[in-house]
Amino acid sequence: MCSTKKLNRLVLRQSYANGSPAAARLHVGSLVLRASIGKTGLSHRKREGDGKTPVGTFKLKAGFFRGDRMLRICCTPGLSLLRSKMGWCDHPGSGLYNRPVAAGHRLSHERLWREDHVYDLVFPTSHNENPRVQGAGSAIFFHLTRPNYSGTEGCIAISAADMRRLLPRLGKHVKLVVTR
């Protein structure tokens, strides 16, 4: 049983460190963590494929972890085992747009089981969830960053070490606030 006070609000701010639009800081209570965001920065009007992270307040949904690469971490509510056949539909016009699908599905989708480590631990967000707007961005996740903190396709990413520090602090109803 963890005794750490649970946090229900994470605030992400673009930092432009080294002039990069993908550089950001995640404020978690008194912690400030280095983060990466969309390779082309932030947007108030997210569009599919624009490489931008949407500005707004989003719920962190139940997450997934790769059991072959990570041990389940104590005090982390809502983590499920990531399966090799999991995907996320990114095909505008589909009724399954911005929803989980089986990898190998006939429609365009992102595979969640990857060779790199960015989705070894991944939390979908509520971006473009209710209502879903076709073409307004899909698969906006909170996940692990690449070692060089390069920009994402629109997700928010932090290091595995920082994610391990953060997980025991997360409450059940975490909101991620993305702002400039």
The Cβ of residue 17 has, within 10 Å, a number of other Cβ atoms equal to 12
Distance CA 48, CA 91 (A): 9
Output the pTM of the full model. Answer: 0.94
**pLDDT by residue (tens digit) across 21-62?**
999 999 998 899 999 999 999 999 999 999 999 999 999 999
Domains of the chain: 7-179 (2.40.440.10)
Distance CA 174, CA 107 (A): 31
The Cβ of residue 140 has, within 10 Å, a number of other Cβ atoms equal to 27
CA-closest candidate to residue 65, choices 165, 138, 177, 144: 144
**pLDDT by residue (tens digit) across 119-170?**
999 999 999 999 999 999 999 999 999 999 999 999 999 999 999 999 888 8
Both tokens of residue 13?
């701010």
